[in-house]
Structure 1
């Protein structure tokens, strides 16, 4: 069981954070379209560099386990905020699913905040076993 715990920690970090890293990179290559979408939802397109930074930098930090609790907390808040701003049309089933997906991701990230990064994380490099 201990081996499962050791292996599942880094795999879990990768799985939960990869969506942010990929999404952030995709926003770079669709910058104008994303700015337009944000504006259509009442959010200033000037915030897009901040959004990209949070997704790519905090997502990467969670993956490698560096400042994991802080990065996971930031991404959790980002997920909840995104759900509330972009996915509140519950008459549209896809938007409802997207809202619930964001909440589920936020919940998983909060588990990282509570429990730390687990094995194979930069946060553990100063610990002696």
Structure 2
């Protein structure tokens, strides 16, 4: 596969990942109550929803435009692994476990992006 195709595939993957995190930011900003309940349920401050929403939005923009796509990808991989444990609800809601595993899978894709780098389609390096 040529470098041009790799660069376009890399950009497409970054756009899809950025949509996920931008959507998460919008969801948290529009209806913070579910996230606040999850945070409170594990003894964390409900107000953390706001910096988390900001992180989601800023990181989504970082994945799309640069700079430091690899650093954003690593940070988001860690975020996905950490937040996956909110979904460990095997007895209460088995579907939440699927979301947990999907978070791990997204983290895996982000680690691949961190290793591969952004390709040539970024606004800043």
Shorter-normalised TM-score: what interval?
A: 0.7 to 0.9
* TM-score normalised by the chain length of structure 1: 0.85
Q: Tell me by how many angstroms 1:24 deviates.
A: 0.6
Aligned position for 1:87: 87
Aligned position for 1:127: none
Q: Is the 8 A contact 1:117 1:123 kept in 2?
A: no
Q: Is the 8 A contact 1:79 1:102 kept in 2?
A: yes
**C-alpha separation between the residues in 2 aligned to 1:31 and 1:83?**
18
Aligned runs of 1:111-122 on 2, under 5 Å?
Answer: 111-122=112-123
Structure 1 unaligned spans of 5+ = 125-129
- What RMSD, in angstroms, separates the aligned Cα atoms of the two structures? 1.7
SS at match of 1:118: coil
Aligned position for 2:64: 63
Q: Tell me by how many angstroms 1:123 deviates.
A: 4.1
Aligned runs of 1:13-24 on 2, under 5 Å?
Answer: 13-24=14-25
- Tell me the alpha carbon deviations over residues 78-121 of structure 1, each in whole angstroms, 9 at most, x when there is no partner: 1000002x111234331111011000000111111111111211
Q: Tell me by how many angstroms 1:8 deviates.
A: 0.5
**C-alpha separation between the residues in 2 aligned to 1:8 and 1:113?**
15
Q: Tell me by how many angstroms 1:41 deviates.
A: 3.9
Which consecutive segments of 4 or more residues in structure 1 shift more than 3 A?
none
**C-alpha separation between the residues in 1 aligned to 2:14 and 2:106?**
11
**C-alpha separation between the residues in 1 aligned to 2:114 and 2:62?**
13
Higher mean C-alpha deviation, range 18-27 or range 29-38:
29-38
Structure 2 unaligned spans of 5+ = none
- Tell me the alpha carbon deviations over residues 3-43 of structure 1, each in whole angstroms, 9 at most, x when there is no partner: 32121111110112211111111211112443234213433
**C-alpha separation between the residues in 2 aligned to 1:57 and 1:109?**
16
